[in-house]
Amino acid sequence: MPICHESNDRAFSHSTLWRFLACLGAMTVSLSLGLELFSKAFPESTIYRFTGSISPRKYRSDQRQQALRDANRLLHLISQWDKVFPEERFFPRFATRVRAP
């Protein structure tokens, strides 16, 4: 299904969305450190348990499934993070400072 802006008929290439999600899915260090810090601040949170569901029609390989799962978890973390830490937004403040070990 094409992704278009409501004001015109111009659409993204079908590969643009996948590139964006693959980029998010590759941010595993930001995801793990973000989950760790969120859980320390809110130990009662169940954010670690969130996996979300990915339709099997959305991937053809295990690698793509993992990338989509990680992107889904990261997007969920970001939505929760920005609600409880409005002064320290996940993007760009936290995620851009995280470096791979």
Determine, yes or no, domain membership for 9.
no
Identify the pLDDT of residue 1. Answer: 67
Identify the pLDDT of residue 99. Answer: 57
Determine, yes or no, domain membership for 14.
no
Range of the domain at 66: 27-51+61-101
Determine, yes or no, domain membership for 7.
no
Determine, yes or no, domain membership for 1.
no
Q: Is the peptide bond before 92 cis (omega within 30 degrees of 0)?
A: yes
CB crowding 3-32: b at 16 or more within 10 Å, else e: eeeeeeeeeeeeeeeeeebbebbebeebbe
pTM of the shown model: 0.81
pLDDT in tens, the chain (101 residues): 667 777 777 777 778 888 988 999 999 988 999 999 999 999 999 998 998 889 999 899 999 999 999 999 999 999 999 999 888 888 876 766 665 54
Determine, yes or no, domain membership for 66.
yes
Identify the pLDDT of residue 18. Answer: 87
- φ and ψ at 27, to 5 degrees? -85, 55
Identify the pLDDT of residue 39. Answer: 93
Determine, yes or no, domain membership for 20.
no
Determine, yes or no, domain membership for 92.
yes
Name the domain count of the chain: 1
Determine, yes or no, domain membership for 75.
yes
